[in-house]
Amino acid sequence: MPAGTYTLLVRVPEPLTVTFGAAGDRELAAGWAAYSGCAFGPGGLDRVDRHHEIATGERETRHWHVDHLLGQAATRLVTSWTTPERRIECEVHRALPGRQVDVGASDCTCGGHLRHHEDRGVLEQALDEVHELDHRA
């Protein structure tokens, strides 16, 4: 699988307090969370499949901040977007509407790569545009 940037769209059906490892607790209202990351190491964008395994309970090991959200019983990873061969997770995050949640950006100065919004459609439209419609169900 090539390297690249990905965004995960996660349903948060009820208010949650999530402990994001050493980053601590964050409050999330009911709605939608979009996490943007990059995968330029071994396996490239296969990392998206790993995140799906966390979300479905097939894998237990929490490595990245987003894994703590995906491992919550109440949340559901709905879909993802990818952009191969481009490192644009910061640009993707900045293009998204909603409240920034300060986790998932320990390797840059963004403060966080997780956005929360109450409207799925608004997030999906922004993600289609910024990822140039490279969408996977």
- 45-56, pLDDT tens digit by residue? 999 999 999 999
Structural domain count, the chain: 1
Place of tokens 């409207």: 119
pTM (2 d.p.): 0.93
Tell me the mean pLDDT in the region 16-41.
95
Question: According to the model, what pLDDT value does residue 83 have?
Answer: 94
**108 is in which domain, residue-wise?**
4-136
**Mean pLDDT, the chain, whole residue set:** 93
pLDDT recorded at residue 15: 98
H-helix segments, the chain: 47-56, 65-70, 89-95, 120-130
Residue 134 pLDDT exceeds 80: no
User: Taking 50 as the threshold, does the pLDDT of residue 137 lie above it?
Assistant: no
Q: What is the pLDDT of residue 104?
A: 86
Per-residue b or e along 34-49, where b marks 16 or more CB atoms closer than 10 Å to that residue's CB: bbbbbbeeeebbebbe
Question: Is the pLDDT reported for residue 70 higher than 50?
Answer: yes
Instruction: Give the confidence band of 136 by pLDDT, cuts at 50, 70, 90.
Output: low
Cross-strand bridge partners of residue 116? 33, 99
**How crowded is residue 85: how many other Cβ atoms within 10 Å of its Cβ?**
11
Sequence-separated (6 or more) residues with CB below 8 Å from residue 25: 17, 18, 19
> pLDDT band for position 20 (50/70/90)?
very high
